[in-house]
Chains A and B, each alone.
Chain A
Amino acid sequence: MFGLDNKDTRMLLVVAVLTLCAPFILNPFPTDSAMAQFNAGYPDLMQRFVIFGIFAIGFNILFGLTGYLSFGHAAFLGVGSYSAVWMFKLLSMNVIPAILLAVVISGLFALLIGFVSLRRSGIYFSILTLAFAQMSFNLAYSVLTPITNGETGLQLTLDDPRILGVSATADGSIPVTSLFGLEMRSTFEMVVGPWAFQFNAGYYLAAFILLAAFYLSIRIFRSPFGMMLRAVKSNQQRMNYTGLNTKPYTLAAFVISGMYAGLAGGLMASMDPLAGAERMQWTASGEVVLMTILGGAGTLIGPVLGAGFIKYFENIFSKINDNVLHGWFSFMPDGLENFVVFVIHPFIGKGWHLTLGILFMLVVVFLPGGLVEGGQRIAKWVKGRKNKDDATPATKTPAE
C-alpha cells in the first residue's frame, strides 16, 4: 500500500491505530480512581506526544541515517514557533499558513546553518550546531527582543494587526487558532461509565500530520537517497575516495530534518500560540537526542516512542506530590506509610529528572538499541517459545 512493502505498511497501520485511538489508550483508568494520576489522555499531553514525535522523527533522519549528531536542533523548533506566531499576529488565525511559513523559514535557516556546520564532521559538527543553537537562543532571549519578545516569549495581544481576521473578538478576547473555523482547542468529551475520553481537534490535526511525516520518513528510509545517507554513516571517507560528493546528500538530510523540526515548532504554536526562547536552549536540543537514543536511533518508530516516554515522565511524574503518595498508601499503618512515602519522595515531583535518568541509564546499558530493541527481544522471546513448541516434536521424530 502507498508504495510500501508489507512490513512497512503494517508498521504505518500500527502507528495510525495508536495515534487515532490515543484518547482511549492513554486513559485506561476511570476518572475518579486513584490510578487516574497516570492517565495521559488529555489534549495538551497528547498533542505534545505527537508533536515531539514529529520532531524526533525528523532528527532521526539526520542522526539515524547519516550519523551526524546535531546538538542544535531545538533552534529550528524555535524558529518554526516564532514564524508561526508571527503569522498568527499578522496574517490570520488559520493554522495552515502558519505551519507552512514555519516549515519554509526553518528550512532556510537549516540550509544556512547546515552549509556552515557540514564543513566538518564528527564532534566538530556537533559543537558547531550547538554553538549556532546557543547563539540563536541568546539572540532570541535579549538582542532580538523586538521580534521575539525576549524572556517573556512572543504572545498574541489584543491589538495585533491581523490582515485576514479580527484583532479581537466581539466579546473583547483574543481569537483562537483554527483550521478554517474548526477551533484547535475544541474538545469533544465522551463519557462512558466512569471513564471520560477527550477528543481534541488540535490533537487530531497534529496526529494526521504525524502520520504524513511518518510515511514520508519511511519513504526516505527505503529510497536510494536513504541508502546514500546510510553509506555516509558507515564510511564517508570511502565514498569520497570513489569520487562521490557527499555534501549535497548530508545537506539535504540536514535541511529535511530542520524542516521537520520547524513543522513541529509550527504545530506547537498552533496548539498554543506562544513562542519562548527557552524552546531553543541547548537542553531542548539535548532532549531530542535523548528521545531518539532512548527509543532507538536509526529505527523508524523508536524516536516516536522515545518522545512519548520522556514527555510522559515530564508531565505525569512531576505532578505526583507527597499528598498524592499519602493518599495511595493510606491503607498502611502510619509509621510504615511515612517510611514508604519518604523512600519514594526523591523520585517523584521535582525528582522526575532522577527517575528519568535512572531509566535512561538502564535502557542504554541493557537495551543499547533503545525501546525498540526491548520490543524486538520480547517478540523474539515469544516467537522462540512458539518455535520451541513447534520444534520439539520435530526434533523428537528423528530420534524415534
Chain B
Amino acid sequence: MSKSAFSRRGVLKSGALAGTGLALPTIFTASSAAAFTNDPTGSSVTLGFNVPQTGPYADEGADELRAYQLAVEHLNGGGDGGMMNTFSSKELQGNGILGKKVEFVTGDTQTKSDAARASAKSMIEKDGAVMITGGSSSGVAIAVQGLCQEAGVIFMAGLTHSNDTTGKDKKANGFRHFFNGYMSGAALAPVLKNLYGTDRNAYHLTADYTWGWTQEESIAAATEALGWNTVNKVRTPLAATDFSSYIAPVLNSGADVLVLNHYGGNMVNSLTNAVQFGLREKVVNGKNFEIVVPLYSRLMAKGAGANVKGIHGSTNWHWSLQDEGSQAFVRSFGTKYGFPPSQAAHTVYCQTLLYADAVQRAGSFNPCAVVEALEDYEFDGLGNGKTLYRGEDHQCFKDVLVVRGKENPTSEFDLLEVVEVTPAAQVTYPADHPMFAGGALGSCNSGA
C-alpha cells in the first residue's frame, strides 16, 4: 500500500518524540554546570535547620529554632544585628551571604538517627540546602554529620556533647562549636578539688549510651587525677524515669559524691530521686555527701526546680555572662521572644554566623573552600571569649563555664550562677588524645 503514513496523529506523535529528543541536551548541561552539591545559582541561598521538634529534646529543639530564625534575620539585615556587631570578623554586611538572601527550611529529627537523616536528605535533595545544622543529641549529630560528608554539604553541629562527634566519628565536612565531655571534666576537676578536697569516693550513674559513656570516662579520668577514688559506675537505661532502685545502693556503697551523667529529663528525674532519698543531708566518711551534674543546662535546672540549689556542673554558655557579645545576643533574643536564650540557642546562633562568615571570607559556597576558611580560624566576640576552630578535629576551643544552682533565684530564668570561667588553655587537649582516637577526618567532599 502506498497510502501515506502522514496522518495528523502520526505527525503529532513524531513531533512529540522529536521534542523530547531536543530537550535531552539541556539535561546534561543542567547537571554538569554545578561545581558542587546545591551550588546556589539564584538570588538566594537555602540553609537546612534540622532540630528535634518532637521527642525528649523538643524543648531544646524549639529554642534552637528560635535562634536560627534570629540568625537568619540578622544575616539578612533585619533586627539589631545581635552578635554580628560584636563578632571579631567584620565581613558580614547584613545583606545575606555573598549578597544572596538567606532562606531556610526546617525539619524534625524526632531525636532518631533515621528520621534525622531522612529529613536532612530531603533538605539536600529537594530543597537544595547547601548547609545542614542542628541536633540535640550526639547520636543524631553523628549520623547527620556522616550523611553530609557523603552528600558533599557542610554540617554545623548544634548541641552535641559526646567526645565522639569530633573524636572517633569526626568528619571533614562537620564542625562543632559546642564543648564536649572531656572539657567538662577538665573544667570541673579544679573546682571540685577546691570545694570537696582530694580524698573523695565517687559513684557514677550513667545514661547507657555513647554520650553517657564518653562523659563518664572523661569525668572519672579527671577526678581520679585529683586523687579521687571511683567506687562504682552504674549504667541506667535511657528510657528510665524512676531511678530509686539505682539510688538506694549508693547509700551503702561508702561513696560520698554522686556523679549524674544524665541529660534532659533523665537528669531531672535522677536528681529528684537522689534528693528525695536524703542524699544531700547525709554525712559519709565524715564529709557532706555531694552531687555533681557534669552537663548542666538552664532548661534542665528549670525541670528539677529547687533540687538544683548548690549543685555544680559545667555549661557551654550562660545568658548572665557580662561580655559584649553575650549581652548583645541576650538583648536581641529577649526583644524578639521575651525570655533569655538557652545554651543550645547560643551555640546554633554562633554556628550559623560562623558558617556565613566563612563563606564570605572564602568568597564561595563550595564546601571545600568553607572547610579551609574555618580550619584553624581564630575569632572573638561570640560570647565565649577568644575561640579557635582547630583544624585537626574541627572542634572549637574556648572557655568553659562551671556553674552552680542558685540558692535564691530572682526569676524563673535566673537559676544558675557562674562559679568559674575555666580558660580555654586548661581544657585543650592534643588531637590524638586517647579519648578521641580511632577516627579520621578524611578529606572534604564537595559532591562534585
Contacts and interface: CB of A to CB of B under 8 A. Distances in A.
Q: Helix, strand, loop or mixed for chain B's interface? A: helix
B195 interface: no
A274 interface: yes
Interface string A150-176: 111101111100000000100111101
A353 B208 CA distance: 28
Contacts of B53: 318, 349-350
B407 to A, nearest CB: 36
A274 B122 contact: no
B237 A272 contact: no
Interface residues of A, number: 48
B125 interface: yes
Interface in B25-70: 26-27, 30-31, 53-54, 58
Given A43-B125, A142-B208, A198-B125, A189 B27 contact: yes
Nearest to B112: A278
Contacts, number: 130
B106 A319 contact: yes
B23 A192 contact: yes
Given A152-B139, A172-B442, A350 B58 contact: yes
Contacts of A86: none
Contact of B54 (A44, A152, A272, A353): A353
A127 interface: no
Contact of B119 (A157, A196, A319): A319
B174 interface: no
Contacts of A158: 439-440, 442
Please indicate which of the listed interface residues A48, A142, A151, A315 has the most CB atoms of chain B within 10 Å of its own CB: A151
A157 B190 CA distance: 36
B445 A191 contact: no
A366 B311 CA distance: 56
Interface in B300-329: none
A376 interface: no
B106 A272 contact: no
Given A152-B138, A159-B440, A174-B442, A278 B113 contact: yes
B106 A173 contact: no
Contacts of B23: 190-192
A174 B237 contact: no
A191 B30 contact: yes
Interface in B99-122: 104-108, 112-115, 117-119, 121-122
Interface in A268-318: 272, 274, 276, 278-279, 314-315, 318
Contact of A45 (B26, B113, B115, B122): B122
A314 B104 CA distance: 19
A168 B27 contact: no
B241 interface: no
A191 B147 contact: no
A198 B149 CA distance: 21
A192 B23 CA distance: 7
Given A276-B113, A278-B114, A44 B143 contact: no
B118 A188 contact: no
Interface of B: 23, 26-27, 30-31, 53-54, 58, 104-108, 112-115, 117-119, 121-122, 125-126, 138-139, 142-143, 146-147, 149-150, 164, 169, 208-211, 235, 237-238, 439-440, 442-443, 445
List the 3 shortest-distance A-B pairs measured between CB atoms, nearest first: A350-B53, A151-B209, A172-B443
19 contacts: A39-B126, A42-B121, A142-B237, A150-B210, A151-B210, A152-B142, A153-B113, A155-B169, A168-B442, A171-B443, A173-B150, A176-B150, A188-B31, A191-B30, A276-B139, A278-B114, A318-B53, A319-B107, A353-B54
